[in-house]
Amino acid sequence: MKQFFKFMFASMLGMILAGILLFFLFAGFVMLMVSSVESGKKEKLEQNSVLHIRLDLPITERSSKNPFDQMDFPSLRSKNQPGLYAIIESIDKAAGDERITGIFINTPDIQSGLATVEEIRTAILRFKESGKYVIAYAPYYSQSSYYLATAADQVFLQPEGMLEFKGYHAELLFFKGTFEKLEIEPQVIRHGKYKSAVEPFVNDRMSDENREQIAGLVDDFWQHTVRGIADSRKLAHDELLSIADSFRVQLAADAERLGLVDDLVYEDEVLSMLSDLNSQDSTDKPRLVSLSKYSRVHAPKGEYVRERIAVVFGAGEISGGEGDGETIGSRTMVEAIRKARMSDRVKAIVLRVNSPGGQALASDEIWREVRLTEKEKPVVVSMGDLAASGGYYISCAASRIVAQPNTITGSIGVLGVLLNFEKFLKNKLGITTDHYKTSEFADLGMPTHKLSEAERQIIRNIIEDIYNDFTSRVAEGRSLEQSFVDSIGQGRIWSGEDARQLGLVDSLGGLHDAIRLAAELAGIDSYRVRELPDQEEPLQQLLKGFSTRLSERMIRTELGDAAKYYLPVRGFRKMEPVQARLPYHLTIQ
């Protein structure tokens, strides 16, 4: 017995010591990464450098200070890719930097929405106005990366590579079969015939109304993409449509023969071309500077400017409380907008919205702050990949709204979802419930019983009231008749181009255009940009939301493309009963 306890305590001591050692090793690793981020030393740049655009990771709206946000877990290395705003800022800065001779686009695939690609592509086209060259090369091109590459003067493809050019398709996820297998009953109440957010819960395919709006959206996006490629490559629009319809690009040689690329070469040959363009020895490697490195290069100092344009970033689903950079927390957003409103230096505000919507109450809180602010100084909304439902709700009180042609917007509608777990608990887990209540509706909202007709009517009244407020606020903000807003609302989503024609959007463009418009409305020529909300220091971010954000990133790393099927299901448990959100998890590619 003594021997048993001896070995048991020895084992316990070993485990404790090992745990302490692992803790300190992990803490050291974290501190090392944090210190590397916090050091943020400015980079030096040599003459005849080439800005190297390679986008390996999902493109966020703004750069993060958290080293784990872009961690590649298999290699335990942080790739440190800048956010969209920093990417655009770097491209614009490079246009006037005499040390930068050109841009090398080297991106086979892009993990972002179409409007984000449009932002970067437009910045590259703006860069070309400086007279500097842009060269694109990749071993293969996805449709999004090829669209970006066509902004270049010359597009090259590896001889054995591939170029995807087949048209867009939209994929929607439906969970009716999952709920049926688990015996979970979705109880849904909606306003609007197009408010198809409920369809994934109750259907196994698109309704006719939903198919109508998806077809219109995807067709608009594809036509816009083809027009852009036709203009850049000097090809006929109808010929490009024919190429995609008949899938005529099957081999790299097909892409060259049809004029989609200029030549089939290997990467070393492209690098030699870049050396020649830089007047270097072709055997020397060109001086490539990455986006992350160039973002730390000093911009030429100008005169001190007091005036500011505040850019308030709102990305992700809308919820109450604090946001974390990947979600829009109403408290965080309200405080950021109010801070900009109260600042004497801030002359105008750009609200950058990239959101599918979310909690109706939280959306209303943010709308209220935008409306108060707009009465004191100009507020311009810049819409990203999507600004739908709650995302449009928080935008509609702005002075002006700017969207990309391929922004998903609108979806003016409200829905309610309550899941009834009664049969699931009883038949799958053997759990039953009993209750006592002091009044008839004391248990309204509990997920353990079926809604009565009286309870449904209560929720329906709430939804109708929120929808009426939604349409009246859009009507007021956009100077439209409420009846007209209702007719184009009903939960229907629109492309940015259609939204402009309907009056939901003022003009087409990106964040760069929105900032210039805000300055124009404020009557200022010189200004500096102030980014809000203020980001926490890396260590604070790590300690605050470490487990949740790390969990999601590990899921994405482990499951890859399959994560899109799992994460929406996991998100059901966080969903509030009444939502103003995009109809579904929509993938267009």
Q: Which residue has the tokens 């309200």?
A: 334
Could you say which of 389, 395, 399, 411 is catalytic? 389
Catalytic residue status for 389: yes
CB neighbour list of residue 233: distance below 8 Å, 6 or more residues apart: 150, 155, 259, 260
Query: Helices 84-95 & 511-522, crossing angle to 10 degrees?
Result: 80
Rounded Cα–Cα distance for residues 44 and 250 (Å): 44
> How many angstroms separate the CA atoms of 441 and 488, rounded?
35
Which amino acid, 523? G
d(CA 168, CA 180) in angstroms, rounded, equals 31
| Residue 561 token pair | 């493309």
Q: Which residues face 462 on adjacent strands?
A: none
Pick the closest to residue 116 from 328, 355, 358, 406 (CA basis): 406
CB atoms within 10 A of CB 306: 11
Structure tokens that stand for 182 in this block: 């688990």
Q: Are residues 310 and 304 in contact, defined by beta-carbon separation less than 8 angstroms?
A: no
From residue 301, alpha-carbon distances to 22, 95, 181, 291, 293 in Å are 46, 15, 64, 20, 18
Contact (Cβ atoms closer than 8 angstroms) between residue 474 and residue 396: yes
The Cα angle at residue 550 between residues 548 and 551, in degrees rounded to 5: 65
Active site residue 272: no
Residue 97 corresponds to which amino acid?
D
Handedness of CA 55, 60, 65, 66 (dihedral sign): negative
Q: What is the CA radius of gyration of the chain?
A: 26
Omega into 447 within 30° of 0, i.e. cis? no
Residue 358 β-bridge partners: 318, 580
Residue of 93, 195, 293, 377 marked catalytic: 195
Angle separating helix axes 114-128 and 511-522, nearest 10 degrees:
70
- CB distance 95 to 127 below 8 Å: yes
Report the 10 Å Cβ neighbour count for 132: 18
Question: Looking at the annotation, which residues are catalytic?
Answer: 195, 389
